[in-house]
Amino acid sequence: MVTGATSGIGAVTARDLARVGATVVIVGRDRGRCARQAESIAREAGSRAEILVADLSSQRQIRHAAEEFARRHSALDVLVNNAGSYFMRRELTEDGLEKTFAVNHLAPFLLTSLLLGALLASESARVVNVSSGAHERARMDFEDLQGASRYDRLEAYSRSKLANLLFTYELARRMEGSRVTANALDPGAVATNLGRDSAWLRVKLRNLFRRGLLSPEEGARTSVHLARSPEVEGVTGRYFRACREARSSGASYDRAAAERLWRVSEELTGLSRRGPAPERMAPGPA
């Protein structure tokens, strides 16, 4: 399953995985674009592609997508949480949550949590979270996690990418002893739709990464590597750049922050009220 798979590195990731024979589930918010992408994959890669339509800013739609997947399949081998957005001003979702935080962090947190049963049912499953080098400038501010007191668009984006890493590392710890691995990556500064509505944003991102923009094909390489390469079989709780393991920021290794973010995320997605299902969590080490 690849989220945000109708354009950019998500589309390339889905196509490249299909080319090696995977049945790819495309997740996107526009049914027409999802259908066209599935048709393109079938035509170019000669492999099966399915679609799940969901606006990842909506927890209701995320739940519906997870339920639909469970009706179709009993196991999931690879989940690539690729979808991400950058908002020029503070906006709220239908759940009353700040959109950058909701789409970039809470969506993959909730989707992954809902699919853990299917991941655990796989002989060997991988969760791949697309973060960003932008995380290096961020710190978690739990007193104003959603920018209600002060909203800065680049800060909000960078913080959400740091949250991706804290989530990845905590998930890896919680999955210890299972056959589910979790890793994150920086795709680089990719020429995708992230900045399509703002020339200012594209310049800002280029300056942030201090290198030229990559093509979607170049940007997708690390996602595909983590999704299918035998070199990373069993590797978990790591961060990759250009298909190689790298160090993320010091703040990303703050275990107390990761545990706190997990608790807050459970509360904001309603998972804490539901309570953990035994099949969703792996047993701890003996």
Does residue 157 carry a catalytic annotation?
Answer: yes
In this prediction, residue 279 has a pLDDT band, given cuts at 50, 70 and 90, of: very low
* Residue (of 24, 64, 72, 65) closest to 48 by Cα position: 24
What is the pLDDT, as a whole number, of residue 210? 45
DSSP-based helix, strand, coil % in the chain, nearest 5 = 50, 15, 35
Encoding tokens for residue 82?
A: 């690729």
* Residue (of 150, 167, 159) closest to 132 by Cα position: 159
Which domains does the chain carry? 2-187+215-280 (3.40.50.720)
In this prediction, residue 113 has a pLDDT band, given cuts at 50, 70 and 90, of: very high
Mean pLDDT of 129-145: 96
CA distance 241 to 227: 14
CA distance 101 to 209: 21
Mean pLDDT in the chain?
90
Burial of residue 89 (CB within 10 Å: 0-12, 13-18, 19+) is exposed
Q: What are phi and psi of 83, to 5 degrees?
A: -60, 140
Contact 27, 65 (CB under 8 A): yes
Secondary structure class of 26 (helix, strand, coil): strand
The one catalytic residue in 86, 157, 169, 239 is 157
CA distance 148 to 47: 45
What is the pLDDT, as a whole number, of residue 272? 85
Contact 98, 147 (CB under 8 A): yes
Encoding tokens for residue 257?
A: 């922050």
Strand pairing class (244-246; 238-241): antiparallel
In percent, the amount of the chain with pLDDT more than 70 equals 88
pLDDT tens-digit profile of 34-91? 999 999 999 988 888 999 999 999 999 999 999 999 999 999 999 999 999 999 999 9
Strand segments, DSSP code E, in the chain are: 2-3, 24-28, 49-53, 78-81, 125-130, 180-186, 238-241, 244-246
Encoding tokens for residue 230?
A: 């035998």
Planar angle of CA 106, 74, 26, nearest 5 degrees: 50
In this prediction, residue 285 has a pLDDT band, given cuts at 50, 70 and 90, of: very low
pLDDT tens-digit profile of 192-245? 555 444 455 555 555 554 456 788 889 899 999 999 999 999 999 999 999 999
Mean pLDDT of 14-35: 96
Planar angle of CA 78, 59, 144, nearest 5 degrees: 105
Contact 13, 81 (CB under 8 A): no
What is the pLDDT, as a whole number, of residue 197? 45
Mean pLDDT of 119-139: 97
**pLDDT above 70 (res 160):** yes
